[in-house]
Amino acid sequence: MFDYKVVESKLHQVINIVKPQLSENQIKFIVSDIHAGEWNLALEILCDILIEEEIPIDLRSYELLQEVGNILNMEQKTWEMLKVQVTPRSH
């Protein structure tokens, strides 16, 4: 058993970080999946959008996606393709 609040919190953190690169519809769609308890679907859709639109993400976002995927026992390939889009931290 896992704490769904942790999953939802991590997903919301990622959405807040990448929000400027997402459309309102994309955000609404993902958030509605999260609220419906469809966390796997929300993670898949978020990763798909980031991959398809080649949106760069920071390391923290990648780690959050990875943590959620691991909590949900999802296949690593769901988020691993995003590795190449992780931008180095600016100092």
Show Cβ contacts of residue 19 under 8 Å, excluding neighbours closer than 6 positions: 27
Count of all residues that appear for the chain in the document = 91
- List pLDDT tens digits, range 47-85: 999 999 999 999 999 999 999 999 999 999 999 999 999
Q: What is the pTM of this model?
A: 0.92
Residue pointed to by tokens 């691991």: 70
Amino acid identity for residue 19 in this structure: K
**Helical (H) or strand (E) element with 57:** strand 57-58
What number of other Cβ atoms are within 10 A of residue 22's Cβ?
18
3-class DSSP state for residue 38?
Answer: coil
